[in-house]
Amino acid sequence: MLDDRTYMRNVSFGPAWSATKAILYANVAFFIIQQILLHYTSVPLVKYFYLSKEGIAHGFVFQLVTYQFLHGGLFHLFCNLLVIYFFGKALEEVLGAKDFLMLYFTGGVVGGIFQIGLAWGFPDTFYGSVVGASAAGFALVAAFAQMFPQRTITLLIFFVFPVSMRAQTLLWIAIGLAVFGIIVPTSNVACLLYTSDAADDLLCVD
């Protein structure tokens, strides 16, 4: 039988649709639009589409979604794209596109709600507007660690120092960094090289 032969299996005519790639392309496209609007128009992008407690108070609930596709700069975008790509690939293969998208956007929305709660509770510390896909990316890291807790991941810190750990350990480190970022707000981002049992990839975590 022809279908018993390796080279005849899983033949696909046309490109396969990928939710992970769609999110990546959307983030890049919206970043380009964001930069054009900010630098060449007077469109009040920050007021209406960045996430802020003032916006939510005015009923702009859609900010919980729009803020996920906007970023504070090219490096910020780059780091979030890497997180989405590397963890999104693995998760979408297991969950399927629909559940993967649900996980991604739910993580972003919940993270946004948490941010707004902090802004209301501690206005002197958490003020201004927020953008970025970091909350959605964190949800992917958390889901990956729960589904593959024993998978070995190697991080090349600053592209020089290799550190190997299990996915579950990476999650705790990510939680620690998130808590530290809340207590001591910073714009610093750590770039790491990520490798797994299957492939060598670059991972940037903020």
Tens-place pLDDT, residues 165-194: 787 787 787 777 666 666 665 443 333 333
d(CA 159, CA 152): 18
Q: Which residue, among 85, 78, 205, has the nearest Cα to 138 in the 3D structure?
A: 205
Exposure of 183 in the CB half-sphere (CA atoms within 13 A) = 6
pTM exceeding the 0.75 threshold for the entire prediction: yes
pLDDT score for 11: 45
Q: What per-residue confidence (pLDDT) applies to 200?
A: 36
Mean pLDDT of 153-165: 68
Phi-psi region of 13 (alpha: psi -120 to 50; beta: other; left: phi over 0): beta
- Summarised one tens digit per residue, pLDDT across range 78-133 is 889 988 988 899 899 999 999 999 999 999 999 999 999 988 988 887 778 899 99
- pLDDT(1) > 70: no
